[in-house]
A and B are shown apart, each in its own frame.
Chain A
Amino acid sequence: MSYLWFILALVVVLGLLWRFLGAYMVAVYDGTTHWLGFVERPVYKLLRVDAEAEQSWQRYGMSLIVYSGVAILVVYLMLRLQGSLPLDPQHLGAVSPALSFNTAVSFVTNTNWQNYAGETTMSYLSQMGALAVQNFASASVGIGVAVALIRGFSRKGSATIGNFWVDLVRGILYILLPISLLATIVFMAQGGVQTFAGPVHVHDVLNGVRQTIPRGPVASQEAIKQLGTNGGGFFNANGAHPYENPTGLTNFLSIVLLLAIPVALTHTFGKMVGNVRQGVAVLAVMALIFGAWLGIASYAEHVGNPAVAAAGVTHQGAGNMEGKEVRFGVQQSTIYNVASTQTSTGSVDSANDSYTPMGGFAMLSGMMFGDVTPGGVGSGLYTILLFAIITVFIGGLMVGRTPEYLGKKIQAREVKLAAFAVLVMPMTVLVMTGIAVSIHAGRVAPLNAGPHGFSEILYAFTSQGNNNGSAFAGLSSNTAFYNVSGAITMLLGRFAIIVPVLALAGSLAAKQHVAASAGTFRTDTPLYAGLLVGVVLIVGALTFFPAVALGPIAEQLSTGRLF
């Protein structure tokens, strides 16, 4: 399949999902569909939740924080007690405290940063009962927060923004479980492994080698790993491993799954605020930046590695194949990794560390824009809406009106919350990177010196700060310092944004609608979309330009031109 056909097929499938999954999610979060009511009602009874009772933003936020705190504790304990719990055929034993903490935070924050190799660290119970459960739950939490923010826009004079527990349960039950179930079957049919039978031991007599081939319930975890934009692989090799991602079809399906919900949510958003064009404008912004970055990365990988060229190799016909699976090739690997870094998934089917400097730059900078193109499930939408509020504020002033977005006046409180939430990520990432390059524990971890080593550290914190979870590799990060500093980065990147977003939802929901007129700054036009692209790029560029100049740009320029 040629690259163009691949992309065209992707666009068609995502277009259908945008339309139908987007509309379906409206029904799920408006509470108009109940086809799984027979499961849903007992769950509420078990949780002692009154499904009809709505929550203020404070109660919604408190429920979310309490739930997440408990989830982190449960995952932490399960990993620490792994040796005493069942389903551990390889007898892997307890996970170390620092790594358990980092991993627990990582999966509850939808990051799936992995300072471990799954096949040699995690039992089947930990993979399924601790990590995969959080893959579902953290994804549903993210979508719920985005929907709560949408309700803030669509409601008038309302004191409530929904019910956290209902959003959590309905997201898992009505969206994530059914789709994952279907996708798991496809993964299994294509050769993805799904078994409790433990590893296979092979004795290759001819070559005189003994080999242990790990297996496990892989296919089921693979589906939600992509669909929930989690990205944590069962194996260390992640999507490059043939048991996780066996064929070109599963590679394509993986890309579809990780883009599905973030893309479809823009339709949900447009429909819920009463104007689908609003959602299209947001989607257009996401698609534009995504497309541009895919172009940069594809071009850089296609041209080949400048270091190889500098060594005298004049013809790199297949492009930069280092670190890529032959069954996917340069192009399909590039699109997988670009999609994965720009959705906060973080799964990879090729090694980011082996990309050309500008290819690596595309992965790194894609996250630096706040992972909004289209971003993680829910988090992509609510983060880009923060940028939208900033854009509307400046743009609205320029048309001579005190700014409003979707009929809601944007005033001091909204600006304060949006600006804080937008800026918390770059501040966290930069400060953490600054600390890491200053202290010994941080400086010894990168395997490379110079700008590439700097990129490895910068990438780690950028990935965790954006709850992405992809690794540049080349960083020995299973240390006390990186486990703890990474966990702090992930917590800030998740909750220091979610809390202001919920506050914003509450503040907007309480407001009345302002009527639109010809004097209103329209937010469903190409002009607005262009402005929003500009704001996303400029905020990212202004905050990260010096850092990027010292990493990938300095590295690329050392071997030649920028492009």
Chain B
Amino acid sequence: MSARPMQPAPPASEALDEVARGSGARGVVSRRGLFDREIIVPALGAAVRKLDPRVQVRNPVMFVVLVGTLVTLAESIAHPGLFDWSITGWLFLTVVFANFAEAVAEGRGKAQADTLRKMRADTLARRLSDGGAEEQVQAAELQRGDLVVCEAGDVIPSDGEIVEGVASVDESAITGESAPVIRESGGDRSAVTGGTKVLSDRIVVRITAERGQTFLDRMIHLVEGASRQKTPNEVALTILLAALTLVFLPVVVVLDPFARFSGTNVSVVVLIALLVCLIPTTIGALLSAIGIAGMDRLVQRNVLAMSGRAVEAAGDVQTLLLDKTGTITLGNRMASAFLPVGGRSEEELADAAQLASLADETPEGRSIVVLAKDRFNLRERDLGPDHAFVPFTAQTRMSGLDVDHRAIRKGAAESVKRWVVDQGGQVPAELDGIVEKVARAGSTPLVVADGREVLGVVELKDVVKQGIRERFEEMRQMGIRTVMITGDNPLTAAAIAQEAGVDDYLAEATPEAKMALIKAEQEGGKLVAMTGDGTNDAPALAQADVGVAMNTGTTAAKEAGNMVDLDSNPTKLIDVVEIGKQLLITRGALTTFSIANDVAKYFAIIPALFLTAYPQLKTLNVMHLHSPTSAVLSAVIFNALIIVALIPLALRGVRFRPMSAGAILRRNVFVYGVGGIILPFLGIKLIDLVLTALRWY
């Protein structure tokens, strides 16, 4: 027999990249190109359907554009002319482009929802009656509290909790992860999701959700954006945009009397063109697309947010509570050093330890074999017929091997010492010192003995994920405090905390201690995010501002949190924070860009507007635009086209790198503020050149 050679753990940074890329590619919730044909074509239709004023009125900025378009349309019909019709056409397109942006964002969700819906094909459920007899019923008829039987090959009819049995379940329908997972009654792995498939064994499930309220249903609902509510920050921004729209109304309206006083006239069409150019149409058109796309980015990383509010809160998180195991450390302790005693060599110790571990399939056991091979090139060997493995039991707290009259054992220090003394052996005096030193460093000491002799100590180290330290450093720069939660004793916890570079730790953590920590942070005015999967995590998940429940966790945990991670990868909490921030930054950047654009538009339109009254204002025509009409039309065309040009940015989100707030602000002010002032000067000039070259004007 041979132990499976152990793969070195993938560097954590790669694992994180994997998360960043989104595991969706292999799942149902698939990632799509920004402009898939199957999204674009229906979106074009939706863009026209959304012209319904009842839809438009939800967006005050674009509603003003629509009303303006109707006025110029009336004007164009009354006094037909190429200019008026051109303006009307481009204003109309401005509204359509805005609708299109929203429709594309929604389309991505709809496509995902359709795929999910296919999975919800009606299944028959095997319901257990009170007497224990089975009956076939439609899954739709199941009531909360019903018991159903699922055997290998059955699709679990609805969400529930296993009350009896253990089974391997294929959850790829939900998570995209093809490897089956074990689900068993009792404990924290008892929840099953409707639509997943039992691969082996038999389980009895108590239904916890009725049709229409299952996890799958909620997921469809969410990705479709059917119940999308504006988030608090989105509401605040909409108010600001509405106010900016409102103030430009009098600014433009009074230009008519101002012009008359100055001895000239301005046409209604030009005034409406100016109004549309000044009001923040760019951000107004893209705002809802940004919000939908933010939720979508989470879905692509297999995180389901129960509300947009939670996504916004994620951007504000100041304290991250991270479980040690699986998030900060790889989860399994690994052999890192052989520490011989009693004059034995390291190699002798390694040799014995390897022998004692050959049959040990635990990750710890395998890591000893790997270390022995790495350090001393000790290969696995054929032991011949005369050997017996001694398995680990809770009573002996040791495991090992009897071979060729040797009895090799490895195990907890106290157990192995007792075993040696029982056989009449001596325990070297130095052993206790080494054992304590190893423990103090945050590792687990494993004592190895060969018969009556103690050979030494194998240090099992809790291995901190590669790259996690850098990740925490980034968090610190972003002003986020990381707190490691562990059941370890304070000594071990401190050592690991130090190595991983977290800001703080909570050792010997109980659910109550966790809860107290969250409340203390919140009372200090901080927003807290955490992950959890157990039922005893539920209160803390509910208390935290962002509670990410693992999909493998209990129903209670999933209901308490405001996000569910389908991959059950606690490291993803960090990505969730970044997505939240990116969402807000995209809104801020495009708002700044939109307002900054106005400067150039003024310089295009104002000289054109009053050129007859005050020819000297041509000095303000810094772009040297061809004629007043081409100037106004160029500004309007730029204003419409910039919406389309920015749709990819709105959907993808602006580039986000973890930096301090000051550095992020400097960069964004430069790119979107200063850039937003300069770009339209170039754009409007270019459009004017094209219009002139085409002899449009």
Contact = CB atoms under 8 A, between A and B. Distances in A.
Interface of A: 390, 393-402, 407, 410-412, 414-416, 419-420, 423, 426-427, 430-431, 433-435, 437-438, 443, 450-451, 454, 512-515, 517-522, 525, 527, 531, 534, 538, 541-543, 545-547, 549-550, 553-554, 557-558, 561-562
Nearest to A395: B665
Interface stretch (B32-40, B215-223, B312-320, B408-416): B312-320
B443 interface: no
Nearest to B317: A519
Interface string B274-292: 0000100000000000000
**Most chain B CB within a 10 A radius of its CB, from A412, A423, A525:** A412
Given A415-B239, A433-B254, A398 B664 contact: yes
A415 B242 CA distance: 11
A419 B477 CA distance: 32
Closest 6 interchain pairs by CB?
Answer: A397-B588, A519-B479, A400-B581, A517-B479, A518-B479, A434-B254
Nearest to B253: A434
Nearest to A458: B258
B617 A522 contact: no
B582 A454 contact: no
Contacts of A397: 233, 237, 584-585, 587-589, 591
Interface in B584-609: 584-585, 587-589, 591-592, 595-596, 598-599, 602, 606, 609
Contacts of A522: 661-662
B525 interface: yes
Contacts of B666: 527
Contacts of A437: 257-258, 260-261
B682 interface: no
B232 A402 contact: yes
A302 B619 CA distance: 23
Nearest to A450: B262
Given A395-B665, A400-B585, A514-B525, 20 more contacts: A394-B240, A397-B591, A400-B584, A401-B315, A402-B316, A415-B237, A415-B243, A419-B243, A426-B247, A427-B250, A434-B250, A437-B260, A515-B524, A517-B479, A519-B661, A521-B661, A538-B598, A550-B258, A550-B610, A557-B617
Contact of B239 (A396, A399, A416, A517): A416
Given A398-B665, A400-B582, A401-B315, A520 B479 contact: yes
B677 to A, nearest CB: 9
B480 A534 contact: no
Nearest to B577: A400
Nearest to A410: B236
Interface of B: 232-233, 235-237, 239-240, 243-244, 246-248, 250-251, 253-262, 278, 312-313, 315-316, 318, 476-481, 524-526, 580-582, 584-585, 587-589, 591-592, 595-596, 598-599, 602, 606, 609-610, 613-614, 616-617, 619-620, 656, 660-662, 664-666, 668-669, 672-673
A118 to B, nearest CB: 31
B668 A398 contact: yes
A420 B596 CA distance: 20
A402 B312 contact: yes
A515 B318 contact: yes
A431 B254 contact: yes
B573 to A, nearest CB: 15
20 contacts: A394-B588, A399-B665, A400-B580, A400-B664, A402-B233, A402-B312, A411-B236, A412-B235, A423-B247, A427-B247, A434-B256, A450-B262, A519-B661, A520-B479, A527-B662, A538-B599, A542-B278, A549-B610, A554-B262, A557-B619
A413 to B, nearest CB: 8
Contacts of B316: 401-402
A554 B585 CA distance: 40
Given A402-B233, A434-B253, A517 B481 contact: yes
Secondary structure class of chain A's binding surface, majority of residues: helix
A195 to B, nearest CB: 46
Nearest to B235: A412
A398 B236 CA distance: 15
Nearest to A545: B602
Contacts of B262: 450-451, 454, 550, 554
A527 B665 contact: yes
A518 B664 CA distance: 11
Given A437-B260, A542-B278, A557-B614, A398 B480 contact: no
A412 B525 contact: no
Given A518-B477, A545-B606, A401 B236 contact: no
A400 B527 CA distance: 14
Nearest to A558: B616
Contacts of B244: 419
A438 B591 CA distance: 35
**Most chain B CB within a 10 A radius of its CB, from A399, A525, A557:** A399
Nearest to A393: B240
A270 B91 CA distance: 47
Contacts of A527: 662, 665-666, 669
B478 A398 contact: no
Nearest to A549: B606
A549 B477 contact: no
A518 B614 contact: no
A407 B525 contact: yes
A515 B243 contact: no
A497 to B, nearest CB: 14
Contacts of B585: 397-400
A525 B233 contact: no
Contact of A430 (B250, B476, B614, B661): B250
A70 B670 CA distance: 51
A433 B524 CA distance: 51
Nearest to B664: A399
A547 B602 CA distance: 12
Contacts of B584: 397, 400-402
Contacts of B662: 522, 525, 527
A554 B261 CA distance: 14
Nearest to A156: B525
Nearest to B230: A412
Given A398-B588, A399-B665, A554-B617, A518 B476 contact: yes
A522 B662 CA distance: 7
Contacts of B315: 400-402
**Most chain A CB within a 10 A radius of its CB, from B261, B315, B481:** B261
A476 to B, nearest CB: 17
Contacts of A423: 243, 246-247
Contacts of A394: 240, 588, 591-592
Contacts of A541: 599
B597 to A, nearest CB: 11
A438 B592 contact: no
B588 to A, nearest CB: 3
B575 to A, nearest CB: 14
A454 B673 contact: no
Contact of A520 (B248, B254, B656, B661): B661
A165 B167 CA distance: 75
A554 B609 CA distance: 13
Contacts of B582: 400
A415 B610 contact: no
A140 to B, nearest CB: 31
Contacts of B672: 398
Contacts of A531: 665, 669
Contacts of B256: 434
B617 A518 contact: no
A450 B261 CA distance: 8
Nearest to B475: A519
Contacts of B243: 415-416, 419-420, 423
B258 A434 contact: yes
Contacts of B613: 550, 554
Contacts of A542: 248, 251, 278, 595, 598-599, 602
A513 B525 contact: yes
Contact of A434 (B240, B246, B257, B318): B257
